Amino acid sequence: MARKTKAEAAATRESILDAAEQVFFDKGVARASLEQIAHIAGVTRGAIYWHFRNKQDILDAMLERVRAPVEDMLANAGEGDGGFDNLKAVCILALKKLAEDKRYFRVHYILLHRNESDQALSRHRELSANEIAQLIEIMTLPENRQRLRSHLTPEQAAYLLHTQMLGLFFHWLTAPDQLPLADMAHTLVETVFFGLLADN
């Protein structure tokens, strides 16, 4: 019975996240209400509070659902001898997922274009700082640092890569039908890295 209860609670949590994704996408985070999310999910507002403290908590959980696989790959990108090859693969995967994975697309659209609060902006800064810190660790590895263009520090290279990828995400999401992002992902990433590495 306990297992069934846990499974039901997990299913309810996923239903709430699915409903919140729809409401946030349609209305934006600031204009969305927990009542609207509860109605779409077919649960009470109390059920939402049992799983989440507030809308920001829901948004964080939505992000975790889609970001975890890519973040795990990023965390492992500096391992072995092919740090930059692994990092390129992560960047290509992220762009392809944005174009081909509906949930990944919707959650990042919400994060970058439907999220207007100061709390949301603070969360976005926090995520960016964490990602840049991970990239700096990778860029600082001796075998990777020596491959950077001589005028670039690991910190500068990490900042450039992060902001260029963020820019690709942000701009493509404004007009997804404008360019075939999945088809272009490899070329775009290779071009970004051409500006970072001395031994292309």
Residues 70 and 23 in one domain: no
Full domain range(s) for residue 16 = 1-52
Q: What is the pLDDT of residue 79?
A: 61
Residues 120 and 48 in one domain: no
Report yes or no on 13 lying in a domain: yes
The stretches in the chain having pLDDT less than 50 are 1-2
* Mean pLDDT, the chain, integer: 88
Rounded distance between C-alpha atoms, residue 43 and residue 37, angstroms: 9
Task: Compute how many other C-beta atoms are within 10 angstroms of the C-beta atom of residue 101.
Answer: 14
Residues 60 and 32 in one domain: no
Residues 45 and 65 in one domain: no
Q: What is the pLDDT of residue 1?
A: 36
Residues 71 and 166 in one domain: yes
Residues 62 and 48 in one domain: no
Q: Residue type at 188?
A: L
Report yes or no on 199 lying in a domain: no
Residues 82 and 26 in one domain: no
pLDDT digits over 106-144, tens only?
Answer: 999 998 898 877 766 777 788 889 889 989 989 998 889
Report yes or no on 200 lying in a domain: no
Q: What is the pTM of this model?
A: 0.86
Rounded distance between C-alpha atoms, residue 137 and residue 144, angstroms: 10
Query: ∠ CA(175), CA(177), CA(181), 5° rounding?
Result: 95
Report yes or no on 103 lying in a domain: yes
Residues 119 and 148 in one domain: yes
Q: What is the pLDDT of residue 151?
A: 94
